[in-house]
């Protein structure tokens, strides 16, 4: 059988899920021996490749770049895993949703009276615009599996990856489904 092509992506999240992934320490050597990591914030690849088997997505869909990349990932990936609470529920990233759109948080962060020249960041083509509503991954594209947790503990990530690498349907029960 061909080696599994695995990717990870980082959207609107704090990177804590990826930190937890790196927390797998020496097991990462075993993983690297069994699969090819073809796209990830921790490797230097700019374009999401075609024919990816599994992609773990950290973070919610918060800006236009997130959405564009997510649609591309879904199209080019067999198994998509929502990775962590922000991906699964929106979590902290989506806490601005009840405010209506992105303006209140942008204004609060950039138009502060104590700043000398307050202005909203605007760099078209460089800085992606925030979406009016932050989406959990499954509200934007179909998702195959979910790993809740903020962040998911390393052991939980390992259990899912082991099952996927072995070609099994990942099953999680009990404490492996803890949010927060």
The residues of the shown chain that bind another protein, judged by CB under 8 A, are: 82, 85, 88-92, 94-95, 97-100, 133, 136, 138-139, 143, 145-146, 148, 150, 172-180
- Reading the block at residue 108, the tokens are 């609060």
Please state whether 156 falls in left (phi above 0), alpha (psi between -120 and 50) or beta: alpha
Name which of 28 and 176 has its Cβ closer to another protein. 176
Q: Closest separation between CB of residue 125 and another protein, Å?
A: 30
Q: Which is nearer to another protein, 38 or 150 (CB)?
A: 150
Q: Where are the beta strands (DSSP E) in the chain?
A: 4-10, 35-39, 52-58, 61-63, 77-83, 130-135, 145-147
What's the start-to-end Cα distance of the chain, in Å? 37
Question: Minimum distance between the CB of residue 179 and another protein, rounded to whole angstroms?
Answer: 4
Q: Which of 63/97 has CB closer to another protein?
A: 97
Closest separation in Å from C-beta 17 to another protein: 12
Helix and strand numbers (H, E) in the chain are 6, 7
Q: In angstroms, what is the minimal distance from the CB of 126 to another protein?
A: 29
Residue with smaller CB distance to another protein, 88 or 164: 88
């Amino acid at each position: 059988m061909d080696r599994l092509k695995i990717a990870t992506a980082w959207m609107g999240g704090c990177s804590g899920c990826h930190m937890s992934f790196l927390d797998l320490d020496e097991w990462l050597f075993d993983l690297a021996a069994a699969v090819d990591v073809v796209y990830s914030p921790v490797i230097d690849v700019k374009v999401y490749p075609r024919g990816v088997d599994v992609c773990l997505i950290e973070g919610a869909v918060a800006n236009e770049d997130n959405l564009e990349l997510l649609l591309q990932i879904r199209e080019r990936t067999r198994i998509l895993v929502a990775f962590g609470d922000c991906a699964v529920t929106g979590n902290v990233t989506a806490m601005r949703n009840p405010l209506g759109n992105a303006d209140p948080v942008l204004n609060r962060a950039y138009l502060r009276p104590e700043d000398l020249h307050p202005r909203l960041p605007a760099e078209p083509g460089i800085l992606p615009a925030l979406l009016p509503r932050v989406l959990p991954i499954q509200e934007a594209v179909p998702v195959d599996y979910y790993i809740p947790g903020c962040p998911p503990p390393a052991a939980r990530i390992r259990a899912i990856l082991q099952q996927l690498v072995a070609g099994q349907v990942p099953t999680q029960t009990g404490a492996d489904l803890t949010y927060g």
